[in-house]
Amino acid sequence: MSFMRKYGAVLAMQTKDAFAYRLEGLVFFCADLMAPLLMMVAWKTIFESQPDVAGYTINQILFYYLLIFILRTTLSVYPHDISNQIRTGKLNASLVRPVSILINQLASEIAWKIVRIMFLAVAVVLLVITFFGGVAIPNLQLISLPLLISLVNALLLNYFIKTIIEFTAFWTSEVDGLRSSFYILESFFSGTILPLNLLPGGIEALAQLLPFRFFYYFPIQIMLGKVSNGEIISNILISWGWLLFAIIVTRLLIRRGLKRYSAFSG
């Protein structure tokens, strides 16, 4: 109970903070919107000259990007504050608080999600009106346990893998390089730019070996009903393996990093 009350208070505080910076939230939201929006516009033009591309129909491809947009907005996290705190020494303040750094940051991410989901509802309505007038809506499987598991797993995996990068700040003074490199790989191998099964063979095989596909691509495949029950189970087990690995590495980095961390004031 004390745990719930404590982290409930943290979430409430972070939500107030996120609402105070709602305009900034709107800008980041627009960034999430722009890439899929451009791809939707481009694909709509491409489909004017032919009925299908690589086995995809216009409604399938437009829905794919709509779902990518929705999942990116709700599941993608940006825990940049962790490395910033380490670099500036502000981590001192976090260390003496009776709140876990990891959970505090996760609460902040969830708070920002609440602001973004507000914008999301409006944007989805506008996109549906603009792009889907006269387009048949595919049969989506939105209520299922595997989908729920894959979504929760996507959020946690997204969070823990990104925190690994942020905690490397204990050893390097600059994590921007590693972070931007990671985001490039993520956007390519998570299916954000193009559905993974449309990528050339070798690249698709590489994408299957990496954890990024569990961020958005795998949940979307479940929604679109494109994976069998056996594939769902094996993929969920693989994603749990990745999540466990990410949690272990994160905790190891925190433990080792704190031993060499030193800062004045904060």
Instruction: Name the residues that contact another protein, by CB under 8 A.
Output: 21, 23-24, 27-28, 30-31, 34-35, 38, 41-42, 45-46, 49-50, 53-54, 130, 173-174, 176-178, 180-181, 184, 187-188, 193-194, 198-200, 203
Pick between residue 56 and residue 261 the one whose CB is nearest to another protein.
56
Give bridge partners of residue 52 from the DSSP assignment.
57
φ/ψ of residue 94, rounded to 5: -70, -35
Question: Please, which residue, 13 or 194, has the CB nearer to another protein?
Answer: 194
Whole-number minimum distance, CB 117 to another protein, in Å? 19
SS3 category, 127: helix
Longest CA–CA span in the chain (Å) reads 64
How many Cβ atoms from other residues are within 10 Å of residue 56's Cβ?
16
Spatial separation of the C-alpha atoms in residues 57 and 84, rounded to whole Å: 45
CA distance 179 to 161: 11
Q: How far is the CB of 87 from another protein (least distance, A)?
A: 13
CA 81, CA 108: separation in Å to the nearest integer?
Answer: 10
Report the nearest approach of another protein to the CB of residue 85 (Å): 18
Task: Return the number of the residue (173 or 229) whose C-beta is nearest another protein.
Answer: 173
Report residue 154 as tokens: 């996507």
For another protein, which is the closer residue by CB, 153 or 212? 212
Minimal distance in Å, beta carbon 222 to another protein? 24
Considering the complex, state which of residue 58 and residue 101 has its C-beta at the smaller distance from another protein: 58
Minimal distance, residue 171 CB to another protein, in Å: 12
